């Protein structure tokens, strides 16, 4: 059999006296502390629906002549200065995003006047692709499964240098 527990000595003051003392301390104005307010319950975040723009009216379609002329002047300058590079990366994992932003920063530093766009359309799953808008594809890694070995094997500095070299050597149309 298990040994019996030793009995605790009985305190001279009863539990009733202790409760009374606590009650008195609580009501004492000297020891009053500001009451702690209950926290407000967290509000649930509602999923926001994407708002589609209203269809353009006829008045909106007609632009002033000055605005149309300014836009026409910008287009040839963009074509002369540089081209647009599209980086498409999957949103499945943060590794894609880090590499895409690294390539964007490297291209903008290496080629002045280049436009780099990341995910202009909904990206494909497991995709990391760098291409020139309207044609030339620099890197195309499609349908990758975890752990994304083909992408992790890339040395991004070399990739950036290679793309910059191809863009600079390409004839300007």
Q: What is the pLDDT of residues 50-68, one digit of tens each?
A: 555 555 544 444 443 333 3
CB contact set of 133 (below 8 Å; sequence gap of 6+): 83, 84, 85, 86, 117
Tell me if residue 41 falls in helix, strand or coil: coil
For the whole model, what pTM was predicted? Answer: 0.51
Domain coordinates of the chain in residue numbers? 87-169
Among the listed ranges 13-27, 105-119, 128-142, 150-164, which one has the minimum average pLDDT value? 13-27
Most confident range (mean pLDDT) of 92-96, 101-105, 168-172 is 101-105
User: How confident is the model at residue 145, as a pLDDT?
Assistant: 86
Residue 69 — very low, low, confident or very high, per pLDDT cuts 50/70/90? very low
Among the listed ranges 15-24, 49-58, 107-116, which one has the minimum average pLDDT value? 49-58
CB contact set of 152 (below 8 Å; sequence gap of 6+): 95
User: How confident is the model at residue 32, as a pLDDT?
Assistant: 60
Instruction: For residues 163 and 139, give the distance between their C-alpha atoms in angstroms, rounded to a whole number.
Output: 9
* Token duo for residue 148: 């994304």
């Amino acid at each position: 059999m298990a040994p019996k527990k030793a009995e605790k000595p009985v305190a001279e003051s009863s539990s009733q006296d202790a409760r009374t003392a606590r009650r008195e301390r609580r009501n004492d104005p000297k020891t009053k502390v500001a009451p702690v307010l209950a926290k407000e319950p967290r509000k649930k975040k509602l999923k926001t629906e994407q708002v589609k723009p209203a269809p353009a009216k006829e008045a909106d379609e007609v632009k002033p002549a000055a605005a149309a002329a300014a836009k026409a002047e910008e287009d040839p300058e963009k074509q002369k200065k540089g081209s647009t590079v599209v980086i498409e990366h999957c949103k499945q994992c943060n590794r894609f995003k880090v590499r895409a932003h690294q390539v964007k920063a490297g291209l903008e530093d290496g080629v002045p006047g280049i436009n780099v766009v990341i995910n202009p359309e909904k990206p494909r799953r497991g995709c990391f692709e760098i291409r020139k808008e309207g044609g030339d594809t620099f890197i195309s890694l499609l349908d990758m499964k975890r752990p994304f070995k083909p992408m992790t094997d890339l040395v991004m500095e070399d990739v950036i240098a290679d793309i910059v070299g191809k863009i600079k050597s390409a004839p300007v149309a």
